[in-house]
Amino acid sequence: MKISVSRGSSVETQADALILPIYEDEKELRGAAGILDEATSGAVGAVLKAGDFRGKRGKTAVLYPDVGLRSRRLILTGLGKRGEQEAEAVRGAFAAAAREARNLRLSTVAWEAEEGFFDAPLAEAAGAAVEGVRLGLYTFDRFKTQNKEERHDLEGFTITTGAKNPPKELVSAVERADVICDAVVFARDLVSTPANHLTPRDLAAAAVGLAKGRKGLGVQVMDEKEMAKRGMNALLGVAKGSAQPPRFIILKYTGGKRKDPPVVLVGKGLTFDSGGISLKPAEKMDEMKSDMAGAAAVMGTLRAAADLSLPLNIVGLCPTTENLPGGNALKPGDVLTSLAGKTIEVVNTDAEGRLILADALAYAQTLKPAAVVDIATLTGACIVALGDIAIGMMGTDEGLKGKMRAASERTGERVWELPLWREYEELIKSDVADVKNSAGRYGGAITAAAFLKQFVGDYPWVHLDIAGPAWLTKDRPYIPKGASGIGVRLLVEFLALFSP
């Protein structure tokens, strides 16, 4: 879809449909809404007065004015009540309008961005509008062979402004949002891809393709021999049950000074997780192709960072493997020696994500990072605690957690902090090794983070558990059910806040 900004007003704009956002139960039509109502001989006001459309979130109405507009249709879309999570309201409203336009098989839509309509800055609202349109229209139909000719996509979204020259902040926000949406779509596609079409080697190939042609972005991929030479036995232990060899993906983006320490992002990359010998229930096991959503988020973030030329150094680490119950598979009771030299008793082979992250976090220490953030579909316990709405956040550095909260507020990708008190570390002590990989059912999201903490060292660190929101079973306003791409927008905003 082509996203563009141009000079003009709603009345003058020619598109298949104009989008007009409306706040719930506002009595006076102001600005563009008032102008459009007057130009269409009161058509907007009439539908509001009749009560057929009240501006509630997620609701739309299509008008076909006979006079006054160069565009044939007017799509009213509800923002809900003023002041309630405004950027999220804008994303949802524009997603609903875009889906309505797609259902009508339209090709182009337009919206007049006017100062003073939103409580938020106009540039921020425009970026949210782009995110709503782009992300709300996402579909994954790579493997569909029937009825493809019936699919219809919007081709263009034009944002107009009455200014002689569109404000630079507005243009910049729109372009930035478009780049970030590309990265989210990239991540969603990876997570949606079935495990037989996305093996660890395929994920590594995607990383190589991602780096190709992007300024400042390089990639290195370790195979199992290199990992064995370095002592990544926790990752290799998980991989033993699968015929597919593991890979360790390193993406390096250099946007700052070469001597500046990097921000290291670590993403869990289980391209399929059966649970291993500690086998998962059959129900919904098909969704375990999404257990590499952390790696997808890291890869998408590095893509956006390079495309946006962020002024800092970033390293993305993605340990990737399958977890299957093959003849060589890891067994409960086995002991592994990690890259950090610490020994791990494996009491549950379905607690495998923290094993591969342990080696990745130990590797991150060798980079002498400014900060470390890991993101992973790590625990069912986090879903029990927070559902599929929020990301569980834990960590050792208040400054990092503060930046992550601020990024969360701006993007709508919510984080909620769970405690990481020293008492939880007592629960992962092993009788036969340094630590064990599971402390049982209670407090599972926290004890998993307490396990990871053992491999971070003294570097500032934040852990993000995205097990809940990474894969949705119902549509959200601008997130169709399935892969959400969670973490990309959050991490890009976090990195922007981290930038000098």
- pLDDT (tens digit per residue) in 63-107: 999 888 999 999 999 999 988 778 999 999 999 999 999 999 999
Could you read off the pLDDT of 224-243 as tens digits, one per residue? 999 999 999 999 999 999 99
Give the whole-angstrom CA distance, residue 55 versus residue 61.
9
- Please, are residues 460 and 400 in contact by the beta-carbon 8 Å criterion? yes
Neighbours of 155 (CB within 10 A): 12
What token pair was written down for 434?
A: 């340094």
- The whole-number pLDDT of residue 149 equals 64
User: What are the structural domains of the chain?
Assistant: 2-161 (3.40.220.10), 187-498 (3.40.630.10)
| Residue partners of 312: CB distance under 8 A and separation at least 6 | 255, 256, 260, 262, 263, 495, 498, 499, 500
Tokens representing 491? 């991490």
List of residues 6+ apart from 39 with CB closer than 8 A: 11, 65, 67, 68, 69
Tokens of 478: 């601008």
Task: Check: CB of residue 375 under 8 Å from CB of residue 401.
Answer: no
Indicate the burial class of 365 (C-beta count within 10 angstroms; 0-12, 13-18, 19 or more).
Answer: middle
DSSP letter string, 311-365: SSEEEEEEEEEEE---TT---TT-EEE-TTS-EEE-S-TT--HHHHHHHHHHHHH
* Contact (CB, 8 A) for 105 and 50: no
pLDDT-flagged residues of the chain (< 50): none
Length of the chain: 500
Question: Would you state the pLDDT for residue 223?
Answer: 98
Cite the DSSP H helix spans in 244-327: 293-308
Q: Evaluate whether 381 touches 387 at the Cβ level (below 8 Å).
A: no
421 - beta bridge partners? none
DSSP state, residue 178 = H
Instruction: Give me the pLDDT at residue 494, please.
Output: 98
What's the pLDDT at 148? 66
Closest CA to 270 of 127, 375, 115, 147: 375
Query: How many beta carbons lie within 10 A of that of residue 360, not counting itself?
Result: 30
**Considering just the CA atoms, what is the radius of gyration of the chain in Å?**
24
Q: Are 13 and 158 in contact (CB under 8 A)?
A: yes
Q: Distance between CA atoms of 130 and 490, rounded to whole angstroms? A: 16
Residue type present at position 57: R
Q: Which residues are catalytic?
A: 280, 354
Which residues, at least 6 apart from 328, have a Cβ–Cβ distance to it below 8 Å?
Answer: 240, 241
Q: How many CB atoms lie within 10 A of CB 489?
A: 27
